Amino acid sequence: MAILPSRRQSARYNADVNLLKLVLVVVAILGAVRLMHFFRARTMRRLASRWDFQYMGPTAPPQWWWNTSYPKIPPPLPGWISRLGVSQAWNIIEGKKNGTSVFVFDGISVGAKSQPRTYIACQTEQSPFGISMSVEREMQIHGWTVLHGVWFLWFSWFMGTRRINRHLNNLRTE
């Protein structure tokens, strides 16, 4: 004669299975984010090498859960970068094109609506980007021109390395 589980045992078993499913989903999401950062860092290193720039790292956000309340702007980025609203920066690439200093990096903005994006900063008063596409924004600050973001569906995303490469190819520097 088979012993059937009671309703209480069955409900507890279902709750345990649901909790396990939730934990596995969270672990899968965190693993996917880590994997994305790994591949992004690899492509940014290749981009730096292609341009004879220096990849400075770090490979992932200093606080991977994007706690934006404590800014983490690592060197060699200038301190004024935080005035752009950047609270964390990673995948930093530094170099010169025709004597003009250039930084390319991924960052996240400050606040509850913080979104990841890619920044390209050139030390020049005049825009070296020419006419930029409407999906990207440009600003001038402390003698630098900064192009940032790729806006799609009201969200900002990382620029692909092809797009960054195109911007670097088209830089008008003196």
Structural domain count, the chain: 1
Instruction: Quote the pTM value.
Output: 0.78
Is residue 114 included in any domain, yes or no? yes
Is residue 1 included in any domain, yes or no? no
Is residue 2 included in any domain, yes or no? no
Is residue 133 included in any domain, yes or no? yes
How do the pLDDT tens digits run along the chain, 174 residues long? 556 667 777 777 777 888 888 899 998 988 888 888 889 899 999 999 999 999 998 877 755 555 555 567 777 788 778 777 788 888 999 999 888 899 999 888 776 567 788 999 999 878 887 765 556 778 888 888 888 876 666 566 788 888 889 888 888 766
Is residue 122 included in any domain, yes or no? yes
Is residue 94 included in any domain, yes or no? yes
Is residue 165 included in any domain, yes or no? yes
Query: What is the extent of the structural domain holding 43?
Result: 7-169
What one-character-per-residue DSSP string does 77-131 give?
S-GGGGGGTEEEEEEEEEEEETTEEEEEEEEEESSTT--EEEEEEES-SS-TT-S
Residues 6+ apart with CB under 8 A from 133: none
